[in-house]
Amino acid sequence: MSDESGVAEADQHLLDIAAQADPAECIRLGLRDVKEGRVRPAKEFFDEFEARHGISR
């Protein structure tokens, strides 16, 4: 692991703690994730999850 990724992980950990303490911070972080493209549609996730685990509906 590079120093940069270790710092990024530590920063993310602190953000996670802040989000747990303050619901508004959690929402702010979620909106930032959407804006920065770090999300995907729930249907896409569940289709992949179900296929990986042999689940059919």
pLDDT in tens, 11-48: 888 888 877 778 888 888 899 999 999 999 999 999 99
How far CA 17 is from CA of 10, 25, 29, 52, 57, in Å, comes to 11, 10, 12, 31, 36
The pLDDT value recorded for residue 50 is 96
Reply yes or no on whether the pLDDT at 2 is more than 70.
no
Reply yes or no on whether the pLDDT at 49 is more than 70.
yes
The pLDDT value recorded for residue 33 is 93
The pLDDT value recorded for residue 3 is 65
